[in-house]
Structure 1
Amino acid sequence: MVSWEYPPVVVGGLGRHVHHLSVALAAAGHEVVVLSRRPSGTDALSHPTTDTVVEGVRVVAVAEDPPDFEFARDMMAWTLGLGHALVRAGLAVGDHDGSRWVPDVVHAHDWLVAHAAITLAQVHDVPLVATIHATEAGRHSGWVAGTINRQVHSVEWWLAAEADALIACSASMRDEVARLFGPDLSEIHTIHNGIDVSTWPFTPRSAHDGPPRLLYAGRLEYEKGVQDLIAAMPRLRRTHPGTTLDILGDGTQETWLRGLARTHRVVRAVRFRGTADHAGLLSALQRCDAIVLPSRYEPFGIVALEAAAVGAPLVTSTAGGLGEAVTDGVTGMAFAPGDVTGLAAAVRAVLLDPAAAQGRAVAARERLTSDFSWRLVAARTAEVYLSAKRRVRHPIGRPEIVTRPLPDRDLGAD
């Protein structure tokens, strides 16, 4: 398993996905080695490479090399440096008796580890499986006109082209991968993200005195649509005075979003709480009257599963995987991406009828236990491993990059 994040280094949902999948695979009897990294901005003196077994998974966390690369400033150089470090560490992995350790399959998670995963699969002559968690085009509504956008897109294309089997976390993501990187791809398997419901205890909602409490949890990026939720706050406060919004998370758009709160005159009602650990997120989910996930682009949306497990009423856009995870009026309330009026109406439906919202939350929790267990996700992933066969490689040219949205698809939309 090759991933640029793995606990304790977690940037977003990808790190949690790889962690839970690895642990579930190990619990099923598979031998799992995860290649990941030490925290950004460290070095081999302050944070040397570690090789430990945690929860049955062997985790090799690789130290950063000395060159002065910063992810935010030098993204492509930093990524190539990470790739070199992962390759060296991967080739140095030994077996229990000191002999060379050879995997049966290399599983890459997203483009940042493409160089390392492709190299290790080639050296070991084993199948390469790639999970595409999101795409650069999808994150930017189909536009990849900028230099960095084109570079990232081309690496994603290369990883997809080299993979002997592909995994997407939703049907919409599967279609996106096929449309962007096809047609000559290996089979694309749809395997949803999972959740361990034992770590997210269900908490029935009870009436409380005071104004409604809304919650957003996730990265603060444009595609997450937090700007639409902030824009809806004045409307919600007119019909439900005193409504507050807690925002958990950080990201590149935090300063802009804080400015939007001033523009819409809801600074005191919108509270930026920063990042939260598991206990902090659980507590926030237990207290809120509804969690609102207004994504404009969302391959899956693991926070929706966590919220449903806890029993927090769900209000989500229909973007990508959210539209598959949440059934409008059954397991939550939904609205079209970018539709501020629809967002406000969906939130009001929850606040006006708490009993119905509780019923939908119970239905969402019940669906989780059968459709999204990590045991099932791991079993389906193992089936992909067993069926993947290393193909004969032929030289490939550079991709033809479409720098504008595809004419017949608004990426990420329902």
Structure 2
Amino acid sequence: MKVALLSDCYLPRLGGIEVQVHDLAGWLRRAGHEVEVFTATPGRSGERHGAVELVDGVPVHHLALRLPGDLPVNPWAPPELRRRLLAGGFDVAHVHMGVVSPFASDAADVALAAGIPTAITWHCVLDVMEQVLRVSGRVGRWAEQGAALSAVSRMAARPLQRLAPRARVAVLPNGIDVDRWRPSVDVVVAQQVSAQEFPAQPVPDVQGLATLVTAMRLARRKRPVPLLRVLRRVEDQVGPEIDWRLDVFGDGPQRRLMQTYLRDARLTHRVRLRGRVTRDELLESYRGAVGYVSPVRLEAFGIAALEARAAGLPVVGMRGSGVEEFVEHGVSGLLAAGDRELGAHLVTLVSDPAEQQRIRAHNVATPPAQSWTQVVRLAETELRRAQAIRAGTTRAGTTREGTNAG
């Protein structure tokens, strides 16, 4: 297939959607498909106004304007986007949506109006935007026009299903390179030996440093400050004989607020704000950690948590979030209904080596299902579904989608 991937954001911007669309393009090419990307993000050298840049073998059309902060917005893009999509002879368009995605929304309208089979995947939790989209009726219209709708998790799919009740909203998860994150043989052997040392033993009086990790954008939606409040309770509950800390990877607007809280709460010796690091540096930090924590409630998926899960770490997250796609409570991690329970689970991880090793042994032996090999198969299924819906729409004048099965 010749596939057009359409997204507001793309590299060199860094974020979940940007990286996922880039990686999806590469893995689709490996599977034998021809792929081009259309985005409102400027290129590495400031490419704009339709300039085409080759990124890792994929042509990227930068339909970007010169705006403050290089905002990925271009209300004048649709005519040129339509021309390029039709001239390119694309078999299918795959649109990637965030919470607010003006370029991607226009791209969905353009592709559907041009008669191109169209799949639309949401990488976000709609939350308050659900009502906005209900009033606009846009999601329902896309379904009626023949778009194949999907989201990256079941929790992200539910509001879309409410907005398009007659359509099927599938789940197309994010993917990771599982082999890249999987522990090395030496690490696995060390973990197995360690696990044998703690079979149902009582917690020793003194342990080495127990390091927790998290990786997130330090923005309010990710709840970094509430996480610090949870850690204040952990500090009160864990005895002085246990030495622990949390390494926070990432940056964002709440960094200064976090620094102030840590100083006021006397937690600077427990929490280190490590800033942005490379994937390799993050993987290295996971090798010495006892667990990963995700405090986010409105988490559509949780790529960083999935990577930690693939690295063998027990994952502590919130019930009802996208983390539930790959974390089973008591098996591959610990899930909390609220912050008090989140704190209790963290106390367990830093103070109970037997529990750490039990969950770690499972995660090492059972890689997550969201490998790129599997995700590309699911993406191909969605693209073929878009083609089938379009063919049915063309013949009958209406879509023939059934009710949600996902």
Q: 1:191 aligns with which of 153, 156, 172?
A: 172
Inter-CA distance 39–266: structure 2 relative to 1 (3 Å threshold): farther
**In structure 1, what is the Cα distance between the partners aligned to 2:109 and 2:155?**
29
Whether contact under 8 Å (1:43, 1:65) holds in the other structure is no
Matches within 5 A, 1:13-412: 13-39=16-42, 43-44=46-47, 49-52=51-54, 54=56, 58-62=58-62, 64-66=64-66, 68-70=67-69, 78-81=71-74, 84-85=76-77, 88=80, 91-92=83-84, 100-110=87-97, 111-112=100-101, 113-122=103-112, 124-137=114-127, 143=128, 153=133, 158-159=138-139, 161-163=141-143, 164-179=147-162, 181-184=163-166, 186-202=167-183, 203-204=187-188, 210-238=208-236, 239-241=238-240, 242-336=243-337, 339-368=338-367, 371-388=369-386, 389-390=389-390, 391=393
**In structure 1, what is the Cα distance between the partners aligned to 2:28 and 2:80?**
25
**In structure 1, what is the Cα distance between the partners aligned to 2:10 and 2:339?**
35
**In structure 2, what is the Cα distance between the partners aligned to 1:253 and 1:189?**
34
1:284 Cα deviation from its structure 2 partner:
1.9
1:159 Cα deviation from its structure 2 partner:
4.8
Q: Deviations over 1:179-212 (max 9, x none)?
A: 3x2334x321112222211221314476796432
Whether contact under 8 Å (2:290, 2:356) holds in the other structure is no
1:123 Cα deviation from its structure 2 partner:
5.3
**In structure 2, what is the Cα distance between the partners aligned to 1:283 and 1:86?**
44
1:307 Cα deviation from its structure 2 partner:
0.3
Comparing 189-198 with 291-300, greater Cα deviation is found at 189-198
Whichever residue aligns with residue 107 of structure 2, its letter is A
**2:76 aligned counterpart, secondary structure:** helix
**In structure 2, what is the Cα distance between the partners aligned to 1:84 and 1:170?**
32
**In structure 2, what is the Cα distance between the partners aligned to 1:41 and 1:53?**
9
Residue in 1 that maps onto 2:403: none
1:278 Cα deviation from its structure 2 partner:
1.0
Inter-CA distance 192–63: structure 2 relative to 1 (3 Å threshold): closer
**In structure 1, what is the Cα distance between the partners aligned to 2:303 and 2:137?**
25
Inter-CA distance 243–79: structure 2 relative to 1 (3 Å threshold): same
Q: Give the aligned length.
A: 362
1:36 Cα deviation from its structure 2 partner:
2.8
1:240 Cα deviation from its structure 2 partner:
4.6
Whether contact under 8 Å (1:63, 1:85) holds in the other structure is yes
**2:248 aligned counterpart, secondary structure:** strand
Identity %: 27
Whether contact under 8 Å (1:247, 1:271) holds in the other structure is yes
Comparing 1-10 with 212-221, greater Cα deviation is found at 1-10
Unaligned runs of 5+ in 2: 195-205, 398-406
Q: Deviations over 1:223-275 (max 9, x none)?
A: 32322321122232231544222211123333333333234331342222222
**1:303 aligned counterpart, secondary structure:** helix
Whether contact under 8 Å (1:216, 1:245) holds in the other structure is yes
**1:29 aligned counterpart, secondary structure:** coil
1:293 Cα deviation from its structure 2 partner:
0.7
TM-score (norm 1): 0.76
1:216 Cα deviation from its structure 2 partner:
1.3
Inter-CA distance 231–366: structure 2 relative to 1 (3 Å threshold): same
Whichever residue aligns with residue 172 of structure 1, its letter is M
1:51 Cα deviation from its structure 2 partner:
2.8
1:341 Cα deviation from its structure 2 partner:
2.1
**2:308 aligned counterpart, secondary structure:** helix
Comparing 102-111 with 13-22, greater Cα deviation is found at 13-22
Is 1:3 aligned to 2:7, yes or no? yes
Unaligned runs of 5+ in 1: 72-77, 95-99, 138-142, 395-414
Whichever residue aligns with residue 65 of structure 2, its letter is D
**1:32 aligned counterpart, secondary structure:** strand
Q: Deviations over 1:304-356 (max 9, x none)?
A: 210011122221122322123211111111211xx232112111222232233
Whether contact under 8 Å (2:225, 2:258) holds in the other structure is yes
Comparing 309-318 with 351-360, greater Cα deviation is found at 351-360
Whether contact under 8 Å (2:154, 2:322) holds in the other structure is yes
1:165 Cα deviation from its structure 2 partner:
0.7
Whichever residue aligns with residue 232 of structure 2, its letter is P
